[in-house]
Structure formats: C-alpha cells, structure tokens
Chains A and B, each alone.
Chain A
Amino acid sequence: MIATVLKLIARRLLAAIPIMLIVSALLFCVLRLLPVDPAAMSLPPNATIEEVEAKRREMGLDRPLPEQYLIWLKDALHGDFGSSIHFRREAGGLVSATLPATIELAVFAMVLAAILGIGGGLLLFRLRNTVFEAAADLGSILLLSIPEFLWGLILLFVFGVMLRWLPFTGQVAPGLPAPHITGFLLLDSLLIGRFDVFLSAWRHLILPATALGLAFSPPVMRVLRSSLFDIYQEDYVQQARLRGLSENRILLGHALKNGVLPTLTLAGVQFGILFSGTLLVEVIYSYPGMGNLMVDAVRNADLPLIQTIGLTYCIVVLVINTVVDSLYVVLNPKLRVS
C-alpha cells in the first residue's frame, strides 16, 4: 500500500517537472524585466559607471536572457541560487533557514483545518431539516468571507490584546534561546532538553495556526456537507436505517468514509493555498518564517532572494497538490484498479 502511494507520488512529481521549468523560466523573465538593476544595487551608492558595468559582466547580466536563464538553472540545480543583495548572504541558505518555521506553522494549520472542516461539515449536515439549518447555512457563508488575513487579526485582537491569553509576536518568548539544529523549533527545543522553550513555542504557534485553520476549513465543511447529501440518496443508507442502526452510527460509521473522498480533492487545492497563506499570518504575528523573509525581500527589491523564495513557494504548493491527489487516487476504490 505505502509502496504504491510512494510510486504514484514519484511518478506524478516527475510529470510535474515541465511545469516547474516553465514556472521558473517565467519567474526569471518577469523579474529580469523589472526596472531594477541588481548590479547597481549590490554596489555602494558612490560606485562609478565603469564599476557597475564590470559588476554587470561579472553577474552575467550583459548576456541574452535565455543564456542568463540557463546559467541560473545550472547553478540552481547545483544548489546555488545566487546571493541576496540586501542580506549579502546565500539566498538558498536564507530560505532553508526560514522554511522549517513556515512548514511547522503550515502543518499544524492543516491538521486544524482538517479537524474543523470535517467536524463542521458533520455538524452542518446534522442540522439539516432543523430550525437551525438556515442559520448554520448563513453562518458558513459568513465564515467563508473571512480570509486568513482577517482571522489572524481577529484572533490577535481577542486572545492577544483583549484577553491576553496568548502571545502574538515572534516564535518564542523574548529572552528564551531559540536553538537551530533541524530548524523545527518544537523539535529542537526538545533536543536540547528545554521544555520551557518547547512550551513557549507552542503558545506562539496556537494563534497563527488557528487563524489559518479557521480560514481554510469552511470550504471543506461545505463540500463534505453536500457530498453527505448525495450519499444519503444511496440505497445502503436506507438499508442501514432498516437494519435499525442509529443516525449517528450511519453518519459516522458508513456515510463519512465515503463523504470524505470528494473533500480530499478539494483539500489538495486548499492546502496549497493554505501554505501560501502562511505569508500573511507570519507578517501579522511577526513570525520568523519564509513569509516575512519574502516581504523583506520585496520591500528591498532583492531580486535573487525574491526569485528563490517565489520558486520555493511554487514547488511546495505543487508537491502538496501532487501528494494529496495521489492519496485520492489510492483511497478511492473506483480509481484504484488503473
């Protein structure tokens, strides 16, 4: 079972390579067409025109665009993504230092989104044909209108500022050490045996992860509800009822298993968007992940860094979509034969 899944994922990722190449080429071209000169930017302001020209040649900016792209691609495949103009460090290194924090945030947000989405969908469905149906329906539309950006601010306002229950700035309380072994702070704090750091990191993760989870669960809720509606037209539900099973038993024991499948295709897209949604939540909570790095890069027009981060986001989103799609194929008995 696991071997089939892995084989499928590998095959689909290979099939996605052409798209990745096109995406990287597009990204490269768009950023080169910008009215920003990376050579002039990486020199001090009093540099002469000759120095800028020399720097342009050194950076390969005087060559034709396709050639520049191929050079960049060759370097990138060797793990060299150029260096950040603003931070004067390897762009690849900057990304790999901040990516784990973002992944940590995204993973907890996805788990929360799945729990809230399935729970909410079941609740919405259970409320059908009751007096609460219209209210629940309207409520789910209103929930649908709150993007992660607003959820982030609402939670910060209510639980951070008003109630003062949870911290809302950074990844760990100031004064505590932030170890950097694997980059995943929760794991690293346990590795150095500092439980207080672990706890603090947890508390800092709750609000941003919940904001993302709340923003991305309503579509899952609505799709689960409507697929449950379809399933309840099937004969086996009637039959289960005739066998005397309770409504809850039918819903949780029989219908849910089939109802979750359509939600999974949606979840692939949703989790992809969720990952890029971490950017805004990171900015709101000053969380030191890749999103804040991207905003820094964008504010400083730091082209090599923008390019590296942009590409990383695209790749991660593509990988998430591919993995979830493969899971769908494996879990859906109708598609398993092929």
Chain B
Amino acid sequence: MAGPLVRALRSPRVLIALALVLGIGLCAVLAPLIAPHDPQEQNLLSILLPSAWAQGGDPAFPLGTDSLGRCVLSRLIYGARTAMTVAIFAALGAMIIGAILAHISGYFGGAVDWIIGRAVDVWMSFPPVILSLILMVGLGIGLRNVILAIVLVDWTRFCRVLRSEVLIVRRQNYVAAARLLGFTHWQTIMREVLPATTPLLITLVSLEMAIAVVVEAILSFIGLGVRPDQAAWGQMIADARQYVYQSPWNLLLPMIAIFVTVSAFNLMGDGLRRTLDVRLAEGGR
C-alpha cells in the first residue's frame, strides 16, 4: 500500500484535488471563525443586496444577501459544512455496508452470492432519485436522515463493483495458500482479500463523496434535505431560483461551490484510480 500511495501523492491530479478538498474542508471546520455573520441572521432591511464591490453593495455583506437578508458568504461557508458532513458520512456508510456484503458475496459464492446479487438487482431497478425521495418521505427531513437515505440508496454501487473484484482476488494462489496454512475464512478475508481490494475501495469512496454532495444539494433544493435552519447549497439555489431576475449571482455562487466540490472529489477518484490500480498504473492508459 505504501508504494502506490506515495505514487498517488506524486500525481498532479491527486494533489490539486486534495488541495481543493482540504480547502473546502477547512472552510467547513472553521466556519464559525471565518464566516462574517450567523448564516441564519435575517436583515430584512437589506434583502437581495449585490456583492460589496457592486453598486449598492454593503461591505458588511461581501457577497451580498438573499431574499431574507441573510449573508450569502456566511451561508456558502456553512453550506460547505453540511456538504462535507454528508459526503464523508454517507460515503463511509455506503462503503461499509456495500463492502461487507460484496466480500461475503464474492468470497463465499453460492446461495449467499445469489441472494445478495438479486437484492442488488431489485434495489437498482428503483431509479436513485425516486428511491431517495421516497425514503426522505418516510424518514423525514434532517441531516442525519439525508445521510441515511444516501447510504440506503448507494450501497449497491459498492457492492456490485467490489464483488467482481473479490471474485478475481479469491482465485489467486495466495488466497488458497492462506487457507492451506490454516487461516479461518475471517482471517483470509481480512488479511489477504481486503488488502487487495482496498485501492478500489478508496477510489469508490472518493467518487461516492462527489455523488453524495450532489444528492444532498438536490434533496435540499426540493425541500426534502436538511432542516430549514441549517445552511445548505441546495436551499440557496432554491431561494435564488425564485428571485433569479433581481439577483442572478445568488444562483451562481452555490452552483460554483457544488461544481468545485464535486469536481475535486471526481478528480481525486480518477487520479487515485490511475495510480492505485496496479494494472492501470503499469499499462499506461
């Protein structure tokens, strides 16, 4: 693992992406320190202000205000907090469920494999958007439920891809050798199979984080995401969509935030895939 990881850190793609992710992460962690205002603080006397440098702008609100007079910059910064929380926990949750089922399914094969495979098939015949909407109706809005809904929808992505990787690894001689040495199934999976599937796992987590950011934005945009008293980029877009003529920039800013975050995670995933996957790294393309 050390070799490929060092190689990954030398790839410009991964470095740029990592810098972006760290930057957004810092915004999220330090939000109370760097945001000029409370993101919920309403200033009804100064609604839909343009940015500070534009005509009519107020230096107290560097990027202007929304339809309730809330500071757009502060809401963007706190929105990063929501997005990153969802990205990390939803991706890890989906990874854990998907990876466990994929390893059981691919390693043991047979009836277990068949049952898990059919479950994934049925699950995937629900379009993800529809399934997450239905789940949000049942779970109710809130940050924790957004994470839960994403986990419940997206574990199949991990399960399907990892299972085929486990199938390949299981046939390797060193896995058979481990069994002959007297390793239990559990030991074999943990010590021999898991290290071989980890590179793919890391890549998938990175890509899933990008998906989670988008899904959170979508759910918040529709009004079925986090609670209204929590800043989220999707909510900012929904608010700005109503006042798009008065203040078009309010629509653009959260869009840029989502785009940068999603591209950073995708770029990181793509860079990791190229460097961590031995076959790809040695084969050139």
Which positions in A face B, CB cutoff 8 Å?
19, 22-23, 26-27, 30-31, 33-36, 141-142, 144-147, 149-150, 153-154, 156-157, 160-162, 229, 272-273, 275-277, 279-280, 283-284, 294-295, 298-299, 301, 306, 309-310, 313-314, 317-318
Contacts and interface: CB of A to CB of B under 8 A. Distances in A.
A157 B266 contact: no
A161 B127 contact: no
Contacts of B96: none
Contacts of B221: 149, 280, 283
Contacts of B19: none
Nearest to A142: B263
B178 to A, nearest CB: 35
B255 A154 contact: yes
Contact of B244 (A146, A150, A161, A279): A161
Contacts of B263: 142, 145
B47 interface: no
Contacts of B125: 19, 23, 314, 317-318
Interface of B: 121-122, 125-130, 133-138, 210, 214, 217-218, 221-224, 237, 241, 244-245, 248, 251-252, 255, 258-259, 262-263, 266-267, 270, 285
Nearest to A302: B137
A313 to B, nearest CB: 5
Q: Determine the main DSSP class of B at the interface with A.
A: helix
A41 to B, nearest CB: 13
B127 A306 contact: no
A5 to B, nearest CB: 23
Contacts of B134: 27, 30-31, 298, 306, 310
Nearest to B264: A145
A287 to B, nearest CB: 13
Given A162-B248, A277-B129, A229 B285 contact: yes
Contacts of A145: 210, 259, 262-263, 266-267
B138 A279 contact: no
Contacts of A294: 130, 133
